[in-house]
Structure 1
Amino acid sequence: MTSTTRRPLRAPTVALALLLAATGCTATGGSDPTASAPAQAQEGSTSATAPPASSGGGTRSAQGADMSIPEIVEAVEPSVVTIFTEEGLGSGVIYTEDGLILTNEHVIRGNEDVEVAFADGQRVSGTVEASDAVSDLALVRADRTDLPAATFQSGLPRIGELAVVLGSPLGFENTATSGIISGLHREIPGSASSSQSLVDLIQTDAAISPGNSGGAVVNGRGEIIGISEAYIPPAQGAVALGFAIPAPTAVEVAEELREDGTAEHAFMGLAPGAITPQIAEQLNLQDTAGVAVLSVSEGGPADEAGIRPGDIITRIEDEELAAPEDLLAALRQRDPGQTVSVELRRGSGTRTVDVGLEDRPAADR
């Protein structure tokens, strides 16, 4: 997520100062004033299981051979837009030929009407059609049709694969940068206290800057493999650390938003927290591995399964948990209605309980 003049979405991390890639969206250690109870943000997820492969066919198909970087830019640039709001700007990707634009929720947050600029120089009005803060994705309806819809890859990229980032960093429209896919299934340390979206991300060393938020990360075949989300700035000692929402997640959420304006998220009904020295002392913990349960929603899935505040969750199914972000990422990969096995510590004992995941209530989104 990036922009060049937009308001700061201050999504802080505990260990890192993270910058959302929309102009004006920053995370510099303070809590996001738009977030509720940032220190106890409850978990939520969007399943990333096999969504539809594509929404449209404006760019060259994944079936063909890899293109050169100039060819990739030429093929995909018409499908990438700049979104202007009262607070600043971000980027977006043409999702359907009839005018739907996919972008980050934080790019359009607080706005109903925006302006959309296309690669051919035309600018039109747009309306926010649906948004989802949990996944940080939104759909904008542009007042224009017969558009070159992008093609989305149906699976995850490979580490080492070419990555080309297209968007409007710092207001420089139609900008391209390139690198490789550096990692998959990344979580931003400390982000669970302020955002539920910074988990299960693609990492790239292709430059992502303010204004890129909501723009395209593209592979060598001209397919969208991710939606630009955030970066860690050089001031924090980082060198080319950018993050994107994987295309399968983006498409699945977009299809749900198109259907009824909302997206489903697996909900356990608890507030996870890192095991700080203070919490370890308060709970008299000798073993600090796992995720602390700070609170439990009355009548929710965790409550029904017997999970209590002060419990330490160490595993979901076969996935070990070392931080709250691990819990959010595990839930991101699951759907409401599924039952998961949860291993936890309480005092000196260990137990396993089955938790039936529900759809996140609207009030907790």
Structure 2
Amino acid sequence: MRRPLKVHRSGLGPLAPLVLVLAVLTGCTAFEGNGDADPGPTATRTAQSAEAGTGDGQGPGSAEPEDAALSIPEIVEAVQPSVVTIFTEGGLGSGVIYSEDGLIITNEHVVRGNTEVEVAFADGRRVAGTVTAADRVSDLALVQADREDLPAAQFQDRLPEIGELAVVIGSPLGFENTVTSGIISGLHRQIPGSASRSQSLVDLIQTDAAISPGNSGGAVVNGQGEIIGISEAYIPPQSGAVSLGFAIPAPTATAIAEELLEDGTADHAYLGLTPAAITPQIARQLRVEDTTGAVVISVAEGGPAGEAGLRPGDIITSLDGEEVASPEDLLAVLRRLDPGDAVDVEFNRGSDREQARIELTERPTEGL
């Protein structure tokens, strides 16, 4: 069984440990006493598939990518003006300019509990900003800054390749316009143990470029100066980790941004159940030896799973043809599906292997 990890969101707060028990996710937002901010997972959440071709992948002011790779100084010169610092009553985080009229993408956990913020630009100017829409499931939000004629970032419309350059730009620990670099270490990453506290730390990009509190909502950039991810979380060194950072893929970020622009909300598929990891205690209670899968803790009355016949105690092992070894795996598969999709689910009920067809619906305000 996977052991719980400490994960930090890349946002800044009172610099008290942003640690959650269970899936302690360290957020990249510098929280400074924001009582409304969730000190949970340190990464932004994805709400739609990060597969290539999801969404148009570019902000309104973006241009076609160039083929020639840039040097890191050239990347910084090109992209740094498009990265901002967002100050709230409780802390600070980072953001990326999405359109030249002042629209900014950031993490929902950066602005949580705030409607008005302050936005600091690379040229030193600070202006007021308004949180116009936020989606907690994907951990993404939009901020409208009181400024126009801005350099909109260019967003990549596909996933990066493992091993390619990754440059992180943001405001770690309040040090504005900080740059770190590394490579893309992995794709479609889930944070073990995170599902009990968050629905967003799945289907992420992994990088060894340093991500720290305050980076949340900032840019992860490739060698062509395109945004390939929005900084989301990191696993701290005290967990035994070395350079483990995570970002929301750019296709996910832009797809959610466009949905939020349309009507202030983002669509998410709803399964209608609460999953959990199979702990030794649960395994003994259910009299099972295999601890892989996601055990159903509860089923929403009248929800898709309940209508399909699932009930508490069932252990889901596959959804839509993809193996489910943990609750995080279940979240990752669900993230790539849409309301209205009909999917097959395989599960164990006692010693019997069962299968059912579930018709997913639109996710309510809370729920899976």
Give the corresponding residue for 2:243: 240
Q: CA deviation at 1:348?
A: 1.1
Separation of aligned partners in 1, 2:301 and 2:37: 25
State the Cα deviation string for residues 294-331 of structure 1 (Å, max 9, x = none). Answer: 00000000001100000000011221111100000001
In structure 1, the partner of 2:58 is 54
**Shift, 1:363, TM fit:** 4.2
Q: Which residue of 1 aligns with 2:285?
A: 282
Q: Which amino acid aligns with 1:20?
A: G
Shift of 1:115: 0.1
Aligned-residue offset at 1:235: 1.3
- C-alpha distance in 2 between matches for 1:160 and 1:273: 33
Partner Cα distance (1:7, 1:177) in 2: 20
Q: Secondary structure at the match of 1:362?
A: coil
* Structure 1 unpaired stretches of 5+: 27-31, 39-43
**Structure 2 contact 317–347 (Cα < 8 Å) conserved:** yes
1:216-231 superposed matches below 5 A: 216-231=219-234
**Paired amino acid for 1:51:** G
Correspondence list, 1:326-337, <5 A? 326-337=329-340
Shift of 1:283: 1.1
Match of 1:98, SS state, is coil
Give the residue type in structure 1 aligned to 2:87.
F
For residue 275 of structure 1, give the secondary structure of its aligned residue in structure 2. Answer: coil
| Contact 1:283–1:310 (8 Å) recurs in 2 | yes
Query: Is the contact made by 2:345 and 2:357 (CA closer than 8 Å) also made in structure 1?
Result: yes
Match of 1:341 in 2: 344
Query: Residues of 2 paired with 1:5 and 1:348: CA distance?
Result: 48
- What whole-Å deviation, never above 9, does each CA across 1:176-233 have from its counterpart, x for those lacking one? 1000000000011100011111110000000001100000000000000000000011
- The residue correspondences of 1:300-315 to structure 2 (distance < 5 A) are 300-315=303-318
* Matched residue type, 1:271: T
The corresponding residue for 2:205 is: 202
Task: Tell me the residue number matched to 1:41.
Answer: none
Distance of aligned partners of 1:99 and 1:34 in 2 relative to their CA distance in 1, 3 Å threshold: closer
Q: How does 1:35-54 map to 2 (within 5 A)?
A: 45-48=47-50, 50-54=54-58
1:122-161: CA deviation from partner (whole Å, max 9, x where unpaired): 1000000000010000000000011111111001000000
CA contact (8 A) 2:271 2:304 kept: yes
Q: Alpha carbon RMSD of aligned pairs, Å?
A: 2.2
1:78 to 59, 81, 88: 81
| 2:99 partner SS | coil
Cα pair distance change 1:199/1:25, threshold 3 Å = farther
Matched, 1:272 2:282: no
Paired-residue identity, %: 65
1:23 maps to what in 2?
Answer: 30
Moved more, 44-53 or 182-191: 44-53
Contact 2:273 2:367 in 1 (8 A): no
Corresponding position: 1:12 with 2:12: no
| Distance in structure 2 (CA, Å) of the matches to 1:45 and 1:84 | 25
Question: What number of residue pairs does the alignment pair up?
Answer: 352
CA-CA distance at 1:290 after TM superposition: 1.0
Q: Deviations over 1:26-85 (max 9, x none)?
A: 9xxxxx9867xx9xxxxx943445101211346x74233110000000000010000000
Q: 1:202 to 1:70 in 2, by over 3 A?
A: same
What residue number does 1:106 align with? Answer: 109
Residues 62-120 of structure 1: per-residue CA shift (max 9 Å, x gap)? 23311000000000001000000011100000011111100000000000100000001
Asked if the contact 1:101–1:140 (Cα under 8 Å) also holds between the matched residues in 2, the reply is yes
> Which secondary structure does the structure 2 equivalent of 1:238 belong to?
coil
Aligned AA (1:180): I
Q: Shift of residue 9 of structure 1?
A: 9.5
Matches of residues 345-360 of structure 1 in structure 2 within 5 Å? 345-360=348-363
TM-score with structure 1 length normalisation?
A: 0.91
Give, in whole Å, the separation in 2 of the partners of 1:13 and 1:133: 20
Q: Measured at CA, do residues 187 and 117 of structure 1 come closer, stay the same or move farther in structure 2, by a change above 3 Å?
A: same
Q: Tell me the SS of whatever aligns to 1:197.
A: coil
Whole-angstrom CA distance in 2 between matches of 1:193 and 1:325: 9
